[in-house]
Structures are given as structure tokens and as C-alpha cells.
Structure 1
Amino acid sequence: MDSLTHEILIWKHIQTERVDDYKYLLTELLELGYIILSVTIDGKRGVSNLFKDYPIQMCHFHQKRIIQRYITLHPKLEASQDLKKIMTRLKYSDETRFTKALDIWNIKYKDFLNEITLHPDSQKSSYTHKKLVAAYRSIRNNLPYLFTYKNHKKLNLTNTTNLIEGGVFSPLKILIKIHRGLSKNLKLKIVDDYLVSYKKRE
């Protein structure tokens, strides 16, 4: 979807998301003559590397959901609570301030994060607070893509994928649910017709 014109440019019917699918669509867009100014992604593994030649914005909503999945909506650990507070300031911060807050958090809880639990049955070890560690790593890995919309203001980047998630997918899911008794081929035709006419109906 073009975030400036809100036009659905291209799509593909797939069973599960794969990087190869994004690669195919990227190639198709370029061959059609489109010029890509930036890309807003939802964090699918490997996608950022595929679009490395373009400014990439990581969706703030998806990043928050990833962290929420790891530390829950109401974390009990002090470290998790503090990380959640940092995430609530994501929208109102910039890359420098957010990175500094994350660095301070990491220094404060470094020993806590590095705690290891030994599992006697398997004789293997793992991080005691592995979900919290995973949450921190997710933010750290996506940090280069969290403030692209502020670092490249002239591109008019959106910091979420809400335009396509809420504006396109949500109504489409409702439409498919209404016609749930139809065959798969007819459902796919409904999807195609919906996406073709989307811009006209806006």
C-alpha cells in the first residue's frame, strides 16, 4: 500500500508470511516502475534485511505488542515495569533520548538479566528471566528502525501500519466472515475485488 496515496499497489495470496513473498512483491513493484521512498514494517524476521536499501520504519504498535507478549500487560518484576515505562514514552521520545533511557535501564538491570538457571534434568542452562531478555533484545534489534519517521521527516513516514491493518485488513476480515460459507476460490475473488476497488471506495 502506498502510504501517501492510500492506493493498494500489489498483493499476493499466501498461506503464511515468508521473506520470499516480500522479495517477490518488491521485485514486481520495481519492474512496474515504482520508486520506493521508504518502507514501514511490522517486525517480520528477515524483512528489514530485504529492504536494507530503503529507510525502514518499524511499526510502534507491533513493537509494543511484541514487548507486551514477553513481559505481559501487567508485569510483576521491577525491571519489566521499568521497561514498560520506557516503551510508553516511545511515541513522545526521539532516538537519542530513547536510546539513553534504554542504556540506563540495561546498566541498572545487567546483573539481573544475566542470571542463569541450571536445569538438572537436561544439564542445560538458560537465562532465568529469558522473556525479559528477549523483550530487551527485540527493542535493541529494532532500535535503528524505530525513529526513521522522525529522522526522515520529509518522507512523511507513518510510525505504524495502522493504515493497512485497520483501514484495509479489518473491514476485509469482516467481509470474509460474512461470506464464510463460500468456497475458497470465491473468497479469494472477493478479496481481489475488494482490493481492486479499495481506492475508489475511499
Structure 2
Amino acid sequence: MYKCHDCGRQFVGGKRLDTQDIIKDYVEGKQTLAQLAEKYGVNKSTIWRRIGCMRHIRVISRYKEVVINMDTTYWGRGFGLMVIKDAFRNKILWYKFVRNETAAGYLEGVGWLRDNGFTIHGIVCDGLGGLFSALEKYRVQMCQFHQAMIVRRYLTSKPELPAAIELMDITNMLAHTDKESFIGMLDDWSERWMPFMGERSMDLRTGKTSYTHKRLRSAYLSLRRNMPWLWTHYDYPELHIPNTNNALEGVFTDIKTKLRVHSGISKQRRIAMIQELIARRY
């Protein structure tokens, strides 16, 4: 506020800051506090105060017939973002900040959708323990990419055993072939390598025996165990259920790329920025 010494009239001078412009530059423009302070001609504490005004409004989608992706991403230990996304539209329907990924968390999100009038025709998720049984009333597709990652964790990306090399090659075909062909390849593999998987070794100290090729066996059994949920998209083509969560992984990558510019901010600031980014873009 200024006052003219000649006429006594008071007036506001200088350039006014637009808080929404500052928030937009911070969230979407990948600009640091120092860059924003220089751009607007103020100090960094002023920019911090304006950014603290971020307030998001969760808007419920008007599209109620949905197929959904669900997954969780993390920033270090104990801070994750659980998301349920419309598989056909670039819209996050529900999200929650969590310490750990749990089936109960996903059920909370599914319940919220149901209570708000959504009809869920299909769900794409990873292989979290207990989740398939908890969602048994829905058509559930396990992300084939997650299944391939499970097998890769057991066998590594460059296995040495011939049986493991063959099983890894079959797994890599999961997203590129049809149900009958994949099951046929797996059946043929198991017929040829079952005696090898059944080999046992003795612990000379205890006298007890255990499977010699435990990791190979675990990789194979994970494919067999998850088979009922790996081909839901194939069994119900009319629903157009995606076979992977790649679209949701793309959202996570986008959010993390934006946050990487502002590394070192507090947890509360990070939460506020994620909420603002979701409200603006998803």
C-alpha cells in the first residue's frame, strides 16, 4: 500500500502475484523455488507461502460403467500412493496415501466406488496375497507384466539352467500369445522337466531333504497358481479388459518425474503436490 505525499491518496503499487500461476509453474512447469523466486521477483519464503495455498477438490467421474486398474507406488519406506484408475479414460477414480500395500486398502477403494454408483466390470491388479479371493465377485485380471516380474525374481534375467532358460522364454511370451498356446507350452515344459524339478538334496547336518531347484520350482508354481487370473481378458473379450497395468505405471512415472524436481520437500508438501497434480491432470 502506497500514499501520495501531494494529494494523500492511497493506492496499491507493484506487480501482484497470482497464486494459481505460481502453483501451476511449481506443479506442472518443473520449476524450483529459486527459479520461481527469480521469475516473480520475490524471495523463496513468499513462494513457499503461496504454494501452501494448494487445495484440491476430488471430483467424482460421471462415467459409472468402468474397468479399473489398481496398484501402489512408493517413495522410500513407509510412504506409498494407492491408486484406482479408469482403464479406458485418463482418470484417477480413487487414491489413498498408505504405508503398505494391503488387500484391505484396495477393498476400501472398491467399496468407495460401489457406494458412489460405479459398476465395476473388470479389475486389473497385481498378485498381492489374498487379493484375488477378496475380489472373487469381480472379473479379475492379474497384470501379466507383474507375473513376468515374479518369475524373473526367481530365475534372474539371465538364468543359467536350461530348464530355467526355457521357462523364462515361455514367460516372456505371456503378453504376446493366446491362452491355449501359452498353456500348451507350459504343459510341454512341465512334462519334460518335472523329474528335474523333483530332484531332492540332503542336508548332511540334519539328514533332512529339500528340493534342489527351489527357485525354479517356485517360478513354475507361481505361473500355475495364478493361471486362473492371467487370462480373464482373453475369456471376456467383450469387456476389453487390459492384460497389464502399464497405463497406471505410466501415471506413476509421470508423478514421480514431477516430484523429482522438488526432492527434499517434506512429506506434507509432497502429499499436497501429489493431490494438486492429480486434480489438474487426472
State the TM-score, normalizing by the size of structure 2. 0.67
1:71 equivalenced with 2:155 (yes/no): yes
Deviation at 1:27, TM superposition (A): 1.1
Deviation at 1:144, TM superposition (A): 1.2
Q: CA–CA distance in 2 between the matches of 1:121 and 1:79?
A: 29
Aligned to 1:196: 279
Of 82, 89, 92 in structure 2, the residue corresponding to residue 8 of structure 1 is: 92
The structure-2 alpha-carbon separation of the partners of 1:82 and 1:197, relative to structure 1 and needing over 3 Å to count, comes to same
1:9 aligns to what SS in structure 2? strand
Aligned to 2:124: 40
1:169 equivalenced with 2:256 (yes/no): no
Q: CA–CA distance in 1 between the matches of 2:171 and 2:114?
A: 35
Deviation at 1:85, TM superposition (A): 2.0
What letter matches 2:203 in structure 1? H
Q: CA–CA distance in 2 between the matches of 1:188 and 1:84?
A: 39
Deviates more, 1:113-122 or 1:67-76: 113-122
Aligned to 1:101: 185
Larger Rg: 2
Aligned to 1:24: 108
Aligned to 2:264: 181
Structure 1 unmatched runs, 5+: none
Q: CA–CA distance in 1 between the matches of 2:217 and 2:115?
A: 41
Superposed CA offset, 1:21-58 (max 9, x none): 11111111111111101001121121111211111111
Q: CA–CA distance in 2 between the matches of 1:190 and 1:29?
A: 24
Which protein is richer in helix relative to its size? 1
The structure-2 alpha-carbon separation of the partners of 1:123 and 1:176, relative to structure 1 and needing over 3 Å to count, comes to farther
Aligned to 2:142: 58
Identity %: 32
8 A contact 1:149–1:159 mirrored in 2: yes
1:25 aligns to what SS in structure 2? helix
1:133 aligns to what SS in structure 2? helix
Deviation at 1:19, TM superposition (A): 1.1
Deviation at 1:129, TM superposition (A): 0.6
Structure 2 unmatched runs, 5+: 1-84
Deviation at 1:176, TM superposition (A): 2.2
1:37 aligns to what SS in structure 2? strand
What letter matches 2:275 in structure 1? D
What letter matches 1:187 in structure 2? R
1:179 aligns to what SS in structure 2? coil
Deviates more, 1:122-131 or 1:74-83: 122-131
8 A contact 1:118–1:126 mirrored in 2: yes
The structure-2 alpha-carbon separation of the partners of 1:170 and 1:122, relative to structure 1 and needing over 3 Å to count, comes to farther
The Cα RMSD (Å) is 1.4
Which protein is richer in strand relative to its size? 2
Q: CA–CA distance in 2 between the matches of 1:57 and 1:193?
A: 30
Q: CA–CA distance in 2 between the matches of 1:54 and 1:177?
A: 36
What letter matches 2:150 in structure 1? I
8 A contact 1:8–1:198 mirrored in 2: no
